[in-house]
């Protein structure tokens, strides 16, 4: 897909920015979507290219995910010595800012109550299951039939109607509920400000990534992965195209540094 002239030209142009931040979502972007969230892995080369970019002068790289930080680090193998900034929990956590995620007693009670209620309401719906994260509970329906997924969604909506204090984030075969007010766009904008970069490149595939795309300026480059309405300027089909685009961006940035 990087042979597509518009995308290639856009990557080469943004690679010439004096200070650049390259950031990517994880699931569905670096890692193909799978049924079991704990088996997600980034495609070969993607993390290497991000780390290589982060090693270049005036160049930074980040992962921005709905995963909690510990899980994101585990799945990507990016530990404390990683050159990448990891932003987790849709912006609730960051390795750079060391943002804490301790919920208040009220927030924790609210999350616990909705989790218990969802668990009770979803019993008996085949393929519907809950993922428990430190700041959120996620209803997964990827392995449910369409009628079962619809039934799970209907039951979840009834429960969530009783919890207007919670934030609901919708994604690919997931409905996520958290007591925090978070979004990836604010988190990435704060990182870009802190790094004082001239341009941001962002890869994302889901509704929550639109909060990033909508904030980008003409100096930046948003790349939507897959189908669906988007505010991104460019689009690729799937994770293999992201891998190719990251390599093209890394090479263009290295050429720029070499003065070519
Ligand atoms: O922001 P992301 O990195 O894209 O994380 C969003 C959610 O990703 C995970 O769910 C998605 O990936 C799963 C594994 O491929 C897939 O089974 C599921 O259908 C997808 O929605 C994760 O499990 C969630 O906690 C994240 O919020």
Cα 15 to Cα 65: distance, rounded to the nearest angstrom: 23
34 Cβ closer than 6 Å to some ligand 1 atom: yes
The yes-or-no verdict on residue 3 having pLDDT over 70 is no
Over residues 175-227, the pLDDT tens digits come to: 999 999 999 999 999 999 999 999 999 999 999 999 999 999 999 999 999 99
Percent of the chain with pLDDT over 90: 90
**Ligand 1 atom closest to residue 136's alpha carbon, by position in its atom list:** 25
User: pTM here?
Assistant: 0.94
Cα 76 to Cα 36: distance, rounded to the nearest angstrom: 15
Tell whether the torsion through CA atoms of 12, 200, 232 and 178 is positive or negative.
positive
ipTM of this predicted structure = 0.97
Task: Give the number of other CB atoms < 10 A from CB of residue 214.
Answer: 12
- Annotate 39-55 with three-state secondary structure: HCCCCCCHHHHHHHHHC
Per the CATH hierarchy, to which homologous superfamily does domain 5-100+182-257 belong?
HAD superfamily/HAD-like (3.40.50.1000)
Give the mean model confidence (pLDDT) for residues 11-39.
97
CA of 36 to the centre of ligand 1 (A): 9
Pocket test of ligand 1: the residue of 23, 37, 177 to mutate, having most ligand atoms within 8 Å of its CB, is: 37
25 Cβ closer than 6 Å to some ligand 1 atom: yes
The yes-or-no verdict on residue 2 having pLDDT over 60 is no
Pocket test of ligand 1: the residue of 33, 92, 133, 174 to mutate, having most ligand atoms within 8 Å of its CB, is: 174
The residues facing 239 across adjacent strands are none
Per the CATH hierarchy, to which homologous superfamily does domain 105-178 belong?
Trehalose-6-phosphate phosphatase related protein; domain 2 (3.30.70.1020)
Domain ranges of the chain: 5-100+182-257, 105-178
Task: At 113, give phi and psi (nearest 5°).
Answer: -65, -45
Burial class of residue 218 (count of CB atoms within 10 Å of its CB; 0-12, 13-18, 19+): exposed
Of 101, 44, 54, whose CA–CA distance to 82 is shortest? 54
């Amino acid at each position: 897909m990087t042979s597509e002239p518009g995308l290639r030209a856009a990557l080469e142009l943004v690679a010439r920015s004096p200070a650049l931040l390259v950031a990517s979502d994880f699931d569905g972007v670096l890692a193909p979507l799978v049924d079991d969230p704990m088996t997600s892995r980034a495609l070969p080369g993607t993390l290497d290219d991000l780390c290589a970019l982060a090693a270049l002068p005036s160049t930074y790289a980040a992962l921005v995910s709905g995963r909690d930080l510990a899980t994101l680090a585990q799945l990507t193998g990016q530990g404390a010595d990683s050159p990448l900034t990891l932003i987790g929990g849709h912006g609730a956590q960051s390795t750079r800012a060391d943002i804490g995620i301790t919920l208040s007693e009220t927030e924790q009670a609210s999350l616990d109550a909705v989790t218990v209620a969802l668990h009770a309401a979803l019993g008996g719906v085949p393929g519907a299951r809950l993922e428990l994260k430190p700041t959120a509970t996620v209803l997964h329906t990827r392995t449910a039939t369409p009628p079962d997924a619809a039934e799970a969604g209907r039951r979840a909506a009834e429960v969530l109607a009783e919890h207007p204090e919670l934030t609901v984030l919708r994604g690919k075969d997931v409905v996520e509920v958290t007591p925090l007010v978070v979004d990836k766009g604010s988190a990435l904008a704060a990182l870009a400000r802190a790094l004082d970069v001239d341009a941001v490149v962002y890869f994302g595939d889901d509704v929550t990534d639109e909060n990033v795309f909508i904030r980008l300026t003409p100096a930046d480059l948003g790349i939507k992965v897959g189908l669906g309405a988007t505010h991104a300027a460019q689009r690729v089909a799937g994770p293999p195209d992201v891998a190719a685009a990251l390599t093209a961006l890394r090479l263009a940035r290295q050429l720029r540094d070499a003065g070519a």
